[in-house]
Structure 1
Amino acid sequence: MTATKGDTRARLLETALGLFTVHGVEGTSLQMIADALGVTKAAVYYHFKTKDEITEAVALPALRELTAILDHAATITRPGPRADYVIDGFVDLVVRNRVLVAVVCSDPGLARVVDRIVYAEQSVLVRMPEMLVGPDADEAATVAANVALVGVAMGGNTPALAYMDDETLRRHLADAMRRLLGRPRRRD
């Protein structure tokens, strides 16, 4: 059975992300990606013309999912359930994408690409804290929301927590985020 174009593209993106974790975006070349895949550089060019296109393609699915979480949260009229939805969705996204989040948090090359994508749309950087504490929140609540978001993103991929299974990490991150926001712990 031969690999389809989609399979090859998915393997290419997975390989690129793995190389980004070791060498960073700037330290990873298209030739390195081709070599790791066992294909020619021309085969990589068939799918992507530049490393920036690869980097965007690595990050875009998670960013689209985050935007979808916020779009759905915007339809929830009550602040408490809306905040809970964003917390649970964001934590789940971070846990399922530990490797990607780790690279975004530590690699300026991927962070730059993510910033470019984020700012091209209505900024999730503004929408997320507002969904958690409301658009008219005071400075302290706004700071707490931003600290909670950054803390979950950074904490969710720290090597010190790598031993935790996804469900345990998910539960602890959500609880920590709720504590930072002064929200009651969920009783599921």
Structure 2
Amino acid sequence: MAAAPSRAAARPDVNGSEGTRERILDVALRLFAEHSFAGTSLQMIADEMGITKAAVYHHFHTREELLGTLVRPALDELRVVIAAAAAQRTAHARAEHMLTGFVDLAIRHRKLTAILGADQAIARFLKTQEHFEEIVERPLALLGGPAPGPAGRVNATIALAGIASAAGGELLDDLDDGAMRRYLAETGRRILGLRTPRTHRPGG
């Protein structure tokens, strides 16, 4: 039996429609995860969709432009989380807000989260983005605030990397968003030495 055509290929409305643009992004994200960013070409994306490379090029001239479009919403959301966390009154409150905000973001962008930390070519690309150092350093500082110094920074790094890895990893695909959110937040608090907020305590 012949393989079913991809979801995108079944609707080849490639003449500039927003729907095609979104499908290109969806297919590209999947191929980046399967073949890496460096290992995925615009031609591969076109072939997967059953369209021409020119049709992809109509929306995105380069892989870098495509990747930038994929990551920009998550980076913008991260900036909002950072600003809200920084506005909290105490170091523990700032760390708690940064933790739960990052957990929510990682869950909303599970597929993207899976490749951001694992693909070195993507990591290099991210370093070229505006204010990238700030959006990396600020979460670490906010999470590590309750334990200043190297120990706090190490704890914060482990928490961020662990959350990203778990949220995007295939091994935990069976967990729904609610369960994933709860377990990631609880584990993050243990790593960071944060008390569980009263309203979040099991059975409380």
Same fold by TM-score greater than 0.5: yes
Residue matched to 2:124 = 112
SS in 1 for 2:38: coil
Cα distance, 1:136 vs. partner? Answer: 8.3
Give the whole-Å Cα distance in 2 for the aligned partners of 1:154 and 1:121. 20
* Greater mean deviation of Cα atoms: 75-84 or 13-22: 75-84
Residue matched to 2:149 = 138
Residue matched to 1:182 = 193
Q: 1:88 aligns with which of 100, 112, 122?
A: 100
Give the whole-Å Cα distance in 2 for the aligned partners of 1:81 and 1:7. 41
Residue matched to 1:7 = 19
Give the whole-Å Cα distance in 1 for the aligned partners of 2:103 and 2:78. 10
Contact 2:107-2:181 at 8 Å conserved across structures = yes
1:162-177 aligned within 5 A: 162-177=173-188
AA matched with 1:86: M
Gaps of 5+ in 1: none
In the comparison of the two structures, how many residue pairs are matched? 186
Contact 2:85-2:98 at 8 Å conserved across structures = yes
Contact 2:27-2:45 at 8 Å conserved across structures = yes
C-alpha distance 79-143 of structure 1, shift in aligned 2 (>3 A): same
Residue 149 in structure 1 maps to residue 160 in structure 2: yes
Residue 37 in structure 1 maps to residue 63 in structure 2: no
Contact 2:92-2:145 at 8 Å conserved across structures = no
Cα distance, 1:174 vs. partner? Answer: 0.6
SS in 2 for 1:39: coil
Residue matched to 1:161 = 172
Q: 1:60 aligns with which of 63, 67, 72?
A: 72
C-alpha distance 102-53 of structure 1, shift in aligned 2 (>3 A): same
AA matched with 1:55: L
- The CA RMSD measured in Å over matched residues stands at 2.0
Residue matched to 2:6 = none
SS in 1 for 2:148: coil
| Structure of higher CA gyration radius | 2
TM-score, scaled to structure 2: 0.83
Structure showing the higher helix proportion among its residues:
1
TM-score, scaled to structure 1: 0.89
Contact 2:186-2:196 at 8 Å conserved across structures = yes
* Greater mean deviation of Cα atoms: 64-73 or 175-184: 64-73
Cα distance, 1:171 vs. partner? Answer: 0.5
Give the whole-Å Cα distance in 1 for the aligned partners of 2:121 and 2:56. 19
Percent identity over paired residues: 39
SS in 2 for 1:116: coil
Give the whole-Å Cα distance in 2 for the aligned partners of 1:136 and 1:21. 35
Per-residue displacement from partner, 1:20-52 (whole Å, max 9, x unpaired)? Answer: 111111111111111222322111111111111
Residue matched to 2:91 = 79
- Tell me: higher relative CO, structure 1 or 2? Use CA pairs within 8 A at least 6 residues apart: 1
